[in-house]
Structure 1
Amino acid sequence: DILSVPGTVDGVANGDGAQEGGRKPSENKDELVRFGWIKGVLVRCMLNIWGVMLFIRLSWIVGQAGIGLGVIVICLSTVVTVLTGISMSAICTNGVVRGGGAYYLISRSLGPEFGGSIGLIFSFANAVAVAMYVVGFSETVVDILKDNNALMVDPMSDIRIVGCITVVVLLGITVAGMEWETKAQVILLIILLIGIVNFFIGTVIPSTIDKRSKGFFNYQANLFAENFGPSFRDGEGFFSVFAIFFPAATGILAGANISGDLKDPQVAIPKGTMLAIFITTLTYIGVAICIGATVVRDATGSINDTISSSLRCNGSAACILGYDFSVCNTQSCRFGLMNNFQVMSMVSGFGPLITAGIFSATLSSALASLVSAPKIFQALCNDNIYKGLYFFGKGYGKNSEPIRSYILTFFIAVAFILIAELNTIAPVISNFFLASYALINFSCFHASYSKTPGWRPAFRFYNMWVSLLGTVLCCAVMFVINWWAAVITVAIILFLNIYVIYNKPEVNWGSSAQAMSYVTALQDALSLTGVNDHIKNFRPQCIVLTGSPMTRPALLDLTLSFTKNFSLCICSQVFMGPRKQTVSDINLSMDKYQQWLAKNKKKAFYAAVAGDNLRDGVKCLLQASGLGRMKPNTLVIGYKKDWCTASSQDIENYVGILHDAFDFEYGLIILRISQGLDISRILQIQELQRKEQEKLALEAAKRDEQEDGKRGIRSLKFLNKAVKYSSNTLAVNAQKDFKISTVHAADFNQHLLEASTQFQKNQGKGTIDVWWLFDDGGLTILIPYLLTTRKKWCGCKLRIFIGGKLDSINEEKRA
């Protein structure tokens, strides 16, 4: 039987790693508020999609685009959301989904570079969406005040006042906790459903004279035909109308955005999201067709604008139905699809229910966005990708509510509420949402294309090419809606991406970008095997016998002087001794020394082997190192300084290594420095010195604690200062005036330390002497030449000495 620890395999699939020892999280799960797929995802998505556009702007969109293009606008939005929903479902079912919604999905798939940028943008877009929905709510309130002659100042100012009061109330609900917010959502959904049903009932109730004068005539075939085609006005077009409508479709991530508060996100997100898209799309199409078939585009609202029998009809649907609204062609009218944003309230069976529905739709969407933005932002801050934002990641209460992020979102929302123009705010967030959708689709495509074994989603109804189509479609729509806004959005993403790459956050989520790098490297290495060697493409690829990379820095530095960014360099070490111990040492050293090379910007690999003696280990390296054409051809070794005192066996092994290199057709480079190469003794002394400093600091801290009586408060501060002083002292001493204590003075060689770093310095205007005794294929000339191409060696000149008679040398030159 296999013991399964919850959260280990699935966690690794999404790059979060397993919890140590399979231990449970510290928080008590029974105390946390968790939601199922209906309350947590379906209800949220439906409320967010049935937002301000359904009740306030859909009639205007049908008036501008007509029924035909209006349905196409809805369907195009649905195609984008369905493709994104499929990709999101695939990513969600590939592993454990934690808090952070779209940010979590993208960052764990594409890495922190794209995840970090889209996390900021998506959080901001949701914060602006709060303003959009609140402004929609405020417009309805102000219309009611206007009808009752109860305006406080003027319509624009009243929208700002009502909006600011509303967002304060919503903030109070969200700060009270997710449980209260969810209860409020359910109540708002019930009101919203009653309002929608009320609208459909109102379309079949015979219209009154008052409603006819305002353009409502029940279902009429000629009215449907007239409204089927577009009638764009005021500079609007298909894509400008689409840009205003599209935020209505952005609610599909409302459930995913609170992924950390769901009982089972892997099941809840796909099921709830896709069902919500289906139900809301049918509702939007149904409302668009019904409203287009029952209401004219322009109406005066005057019951006296009927057509007498003596007047000739102008052929419009209203004229055929007995009303003359032709005055609207020359002056603005207050009613009809194009002029009245409260058409659904007029059509409904009971107007106040539609007003309640508008309140419900706008407030629920605003509430969902007000929760989503801080939750995403909190997850981003806790990952510490942007160091300065960590302050906003702190959570409060049993559900770790992001109070600080709530307050930040509140101020952003208030700033956009002050614009007080719904049609201005809506296009601002369209590009940000589309960019998020594009990256979700691309994440799914990239994970599939990289063929990483960790990509195994349980959601079967996806295809990587469909995800790529979704990516292209989202990007195309971005640029068609508003090309300069799309350029700005892309520029912001790239800027944030470059910022994260430059800062290199210490996270490793096993992203598909890493998997793709491996696949690309593998394919390139395989393609190289089909290329025949040519003398023009020869480059020295070196095995460097450094032992531990830091113990012979001069040997490594010289090699990197002609291999860095040019050819292969492998730092090699042979472990000798009992096999069990050597294997353990190799396993410990591999990551340690490779990380040291990366940290010190040494562009080299580290390889270690076990052998009975040094020669056997080097034989293994000479035969097995490299891959395909990426195979070493040059051995770099230090000169054996102690050959006079070493045992005959050691000397035999050393000379044997040189012979083995020639036998395996390797070039050979031997580096000799008068002071020697091995500084391992100095490193040991420095380590001993560091431990002595720490010991002294601990003793001082203990004394300080006893004297002060504050039980560790001052002593800890003192200890931190002492350790910092100790490390700073060691760093300075290692460079210049390092003075060791008298106990170790005999073991310390200042000249050896200086010689070990000589190839890290600028070599000035010197000469490189080359003694070319015979034609060795050109390696003796190539290495010095490559050195002169480097910045530190560019001031040096080559001086070549050739042995032989002058006449024969001239003949060789001519040849």
Structure 2
Amino acid sequence: MAAEDSGIDNNEKKFGAFGGVFTPCTLTILGVIMFLRFGQVVGQAGFYSAIVIVLASKVITTLTSLSLSAIASNTRVRGGGAYYIISRSLGVEFGGAIGIVFFLAQAISVAMYVIGFTEALASTFPSLADDTLAIATFVNIVTFVCVYIGAGWTIKVQYAILAVLGAALASFYVGTVGNFSMSEFKTNLLPHYTEGENFFSVFALFFPAVTGIMAGANMSGDLKNPAHSIPRGTLAAVAVTAVVYLSMAFLLAGVSTHEELITNNLIVREVSRWPVLITAGVFAATLSSALGSMMGAPRIMQAFARDEIFSWLNFFGTASGKSHEPRRATVLTFIIAQCCVLLGDLDAIAPIITMFFMITYGLLNLATFYEAVTKNPSYRPTFRYCHWSLSFLGALGCLGVMLLINWPVALGSIVAMAAIYGSIQYREIEARWGDLQGGVAFERARRALLRLEDTAYHPKNWRPVVLALSSSAWHRPHLAIYGQWLTSGHGVLTLAQVICGDVEKHAERRDSYERSLRKFIEKEELQAFSAVVVDAYLSDGIESLVQCHGLGGLKPNTVLIGWPKTESKSEAFGATLRLVARLNRSMICARLLLDEEISDGQYATEDREAMLAEAWEIPNGTIDVWWRGKKNGALMMLLAHMLHQNPDWRHNSIRVIRIVPSEEAVEEVREHIVQLAAISRIRVEPIVLVAENVPLAIQVTSQNAAVVLLGFESPAEGEEADFYQRMESLIGALPRVLFVDSAGGMELES
């Protein structure tokens, strides 16, 4: 199932900013904490600190709401709310981690609101105090059934609940304004923390009250226009509820003692003009919040499961009915909520939810920050009132609050997130949607290339940027493999192919060959790029590749090409060598007698697979560098060193070999090689031979070498055949030889 099908995307989307976002957000924010615990917040922290707690919470949620609004108006938001937004921005790893955490946060929130309802009911009717677990279970079941029927019916019920909540607040304001005492207010200005409590523990108790900003985003799959409704509805809910909480803090501080505020969970009801309306408001608010979370959590799980990040969760991605209700995920939410209901402690659940929501909010701010700061061209939100600095502050605020509330739990939560992230990354799950990581990588690459442009041309910074003319790579894999060995961890490798013919006629063929090269790179796990060009002549295609491929400091400085197998190809080969030399590029010609062509028709699939595996086998023996001077010697030494740096080549020692005409020169030349090795910091074994028959000396000395590096100069026009015969006679039957022609640019002393 395509990831872009996550959530609901049909004609049943019918809710606007008020019904689909403002109402569920407001009812969730003005919920159980407001009625049952806000008096304790004011009593413990005092008026001043209570205002700070409310404002700090609102600053974090406002910054997060701005980030949410920006990113929601930048993409087509489907089902899944914050999970969908974060996963499509930060990628599958962060998406998977946040999907689990956010779902659990919403599911546990159901239990918090159900417990709050039960607590209020037992306080109103003391005879029910012994049956709170049964009542909470019954309320949880009723909430589950309501949501199981469908979101449309549930949202309509919330309109009535919003009216009841408005009446309850009116009752509170009328009652407290009439009984407000300035002397009582002054005694409640400063904190009166009980044993074990402090500013941050009270903050952790209050913060879940303002986490309802996601209630509307969680319904993104049921909105007519999420990009329009989410910003307007969410910010309106944040503003309205901020006024409510600030005014309530002021009034509560002036109508009761701090002892009463701390110990009486129903103080809001007792100071109201019509207590029955508060009772109704408590019931309405807690039930509506439970309904909101019970609606949101399954939609997160449904979107998460449909992305197929964890196969064992795919079962919960199934939609039911014409409105695509996530009923399987709703059952799972009910079970988790019921397990938490069995705990029965509102004060224990609230801090857990705080941590979960803080992580979610922090990552949402981080996603928006990265979208903006990397200047991603696709980041064009219609909501204009969010800057990257605000998103960054929001992310820092979330992290800071987590650490200040309970740093061990905060660090444990971060470690758990990192473990989920690492698990998804280790399993190499492929996202089927674009994410921000590509944009971040692009921005880093862009800046790095600009810096590289200023420094890349110093000999100290020379690295092999190899253009391997490897035909289709499948047929002559040794070239690609040696290119990988020579550049892995050191440089950049491109596998290139030239198609001779007309561009218009071979456009589709070019795309096919490039896909084939990429498939080979992926299958053989090469760190390489692919490049295919179409040109009328082979030499013109090579010239185009050498001149135009690459960017800035990453343009090819070395061309890797196969050695011709017959003299008949020597003329064209010599022309290619001269062309590369004129373009001031170094040349490596690989003469690999074992590099048989592995064509599709020539061998069975299993035989070709075996030959590819054999191509990766490291030959036994030494890496022999035949030294004749610095013109090609520096590059040969560096290539030998980079080959030796590969873990599989570590057992192949490097030998630097030179032939001298007499015994008198042996010690002097040996000392020269030793000094050269010391200056270049490359460990080598110096060998000096006295020989008149140079070809025989090379062939005998290196007959057991793993690979031989030998310098050459490009042949003059008309001398291609002589050049080919001379080089062939020089090495005879040696199976693995790399001929090297250096264009300079590197220094062993650097």
Aligned residue in 1 for 2:743: none
- Distance in 2 between the 1:28 and 1:462 partners? 28
In the TM superposition, what whole-angstrom CA distance separates every residue of 1:649-674 from its partner, at most 9, and x where no partner exists?
x5432220112222223222222233
Residues 351-366 of structure 1: pairs in structure 2 closer than 5 A: 351-366=275-290
How far did 1:814 drift? Answer: 4.1
Asked if 1:667 is matched to 2:607, the reply is: no
Q: Secondary structure at the match of 1:574?
A: strand
In the TM superposition, what whole-angstrom CA distance separates every residue of 1:381-438 from its partner, at most 9, and x where no partner exists?
1011222211111111112111111111111111111111111110011011011111
In the alignment, which of 38, 44, 47 is matched to residue 58 of structure 1?
Answer: 38
Q: Secondary structure at the match of 1:652?
A: helix
How far did 1:810 drift? Answer: 3.9
Aligned residue in 1 for 2:710: none
Which amino acid is 1:106 matched to?
I
- Distance in 1 between the 2:470 and 2:549 partners? 15
In the TM superposition, what whole-angstrom CA distance separates every residue of 1:271-328 from its partner, at most 9, and x where no partner exists?
0000111111111111221122111233xxxxxxxxxxxxxxxxxxxxxxxxxxxxxx
Which amino acid is 2:576 matched to?
I
Moved more, 503-512 or 351-360: 503-512
Asked if 1:137 is matched to 2:122, the reply is: no
Q: Secondary structure at the match of 2:506?
A: helix
Aligned residue in 2 for 1:779: 635
In the TM superposition, what whole-angstrom CA distance separates every residue of 1:464-507 from its partner, at most 9, and x where no partner exists?
11111111111111111111111011111111111222222222
- Distance in 2 between the 1:685 and 1:47 partners? 72
Asked if 1:398 is matched to 2:322, the reply is: yes
Q: Secondary structure at the match of 1:522?
A: helix
Does structure 1 conserve the Cα–Cα contact (< 8 Å) formed by 2:96 and 2:309?
yes
Aligned residue in 2 for 1:790: 646
Aligned residue in 2 for 1:108: 88
- Distance in 1 between the 2:502 and 2:13 partners? 56
Q: Secondary structure at the match of 1:792?
A: helix
Q: Secondary structure at the match of 2:589?
A: strand
- Distance in 1 between the 2:595 and 2:269 partners? 91
TM-score (norm: length of structure 2) = 0.85
Residues 523-538 of structure 1: pairs in structure 2 closer than 5 A: 523-531=447-455, 533-538=457-462
TM-score (norm: length of structure 1) = 0.79
- Distance in 1 between the 2:376 and 2:3 partners? 16
Aligned residue in 2 for 1:288: 249
Aligned residue in 1 for 2:727: none
In the alignment, which of 123, 140, 143 is matched to residue 103 of structure 2?
Answer: 123
- Distance in 2 between the 1:339 and 1:797 partners? 79
Does structure 2 conserve the Cα–Cα contact (< 8 Å) formed by 1:450 and 1:512?
no
Asked if 1:760 is matched to 2:733, the reply is: no
Q: Secondary structure at the match of 2:649?
A: coil
Aligned residue in 1 for 2:171: 198
Q: Secondary structure at the match of 1:446?
A: helix
Q: Secondary structure at the match of 2:496?
A: strand
In the TM superposition, what whole-angstrom CA distance separates every residue of 1:178-221 from its partner, at most 9, and x where no partner exists?
1121122112111111111112222355xxxxxxxxxxxx1111
How far did 1:576 drift? Answer: 0.7
The alignment of Structure 1 onto Structure 2 pairs a total of residues equal to: 669
Does structure 2 conserve the Cα–Cα contact (< 8 Å) formed by 1:554 and 1:757?
no
Aligned residue in 2 for 1:229: 190
How far did 1:595 drift? Answer: 4.4
Which amino acid is 1:132 matched to?
M
Asked if 1:658 is matched to 2:658, the reply is: no
- Distance in 2 between the 1:102 and 1:227 partners? 39
Asked if 1:515 is matched to 2:439, the reply is: yes
How far did 1:598 drift? Answer: 2.8
Which amino acid is 2:518 matched to?
Q
- Distance in 1 between the 2:655 and 2:182 partners? 97
Asked if 1:160 is matched to 2:140, the reply is: no
Q: Secondary structure at the match of 1:803?
A: strand
In the TM superposition, what whole-angstrom CA distance separates every residue of 1:516-552 from its partner, at most 9, and x where no partner exists?
1111111111111211644444333211111112221
Does structure 2 conserve the Cα–Cα contact (< 8 Å) formed by 1:554 and 1:758?
no
How far did 1:41 drift? Answer: 0.5
In the TM superposition, what whole-angstrom CA distance separates every residue of 1:707-746 from its partner, at most 9, and x where no partner exists?
xxxxxxxxxxxxxxxxxxxxxxx4x55445xxxxxxxxxx
- Distance in 2 between the 1:599 and 1:51 partners? 56
- Distance in 2 between the 1:293 and 1:593 partners? 76
Does structure 2 conserve the Cα–Cα contact (< 8 Å) formed by 1:763 and 1:795?
no
Asked if 1:88 is matched to 2:68, the reply is: yes
- Distance in 2 between the 1:592 and 1:74 partners? 60
Does structure 1 conserve the Cα–Cα contact (< 8 Å) formed by 2:477 and 2:595?
no
Aligned residue in 1 for 2:522: 598
In the TM superposition, what whole-angstrom CA distance separates every residue of 1:10-67 from its partner, at most 9, and x where no partner exists?
xxxxx988x9xxxxx999944x252111110011101010110111111111111112
In the alignment, which of 473, 493, 504 is matched to residue 569 of structure 1?
Answer: 493
Aligned residue in 1 for 2:471: 547
Which amino acid is 1:342 matched to?
L
- Distance in 1 between the 2:10 and 2:645 partners? 63
In the alignment, which of 625, 648, 653 is matched to residue 770 of structure 1?
Answer: 625
Does structure 1 conserve the Cα–Cα contact (< 8 Å) formed by 2:496 and 2:532?
yes
Aligned residue in 1 for 2:224: 263
Moved more, 105-114 or 657-666: 657-666
How far did 1:360 drift? Answer: 0.4
Does structure 1 conserve the Cα–Cα contact (< 8 Å) formed by 2:7 and 2:79?
no
- Distance in 1 between the 2:391 and 2:8 partners? 37
- RMSD of the alignment, in Å? 2.2
Does structure 2 conserve the Cα–Cα contact (< 8 Å) formed by 1:641 and 1:676?
no
In the alignment, which of 197, 203, 206 is matched to residue 245 of structure 1?
Answer: 206
Aligned residue in 1 for 2:233: 272
Segments of structure 2 that go 5 or more residues without pairing to the other structure are 673-750
Does structure 1 conserve the Cα–Cα contact (< 8 Å) formed by 2:557 and 2:586?
yes
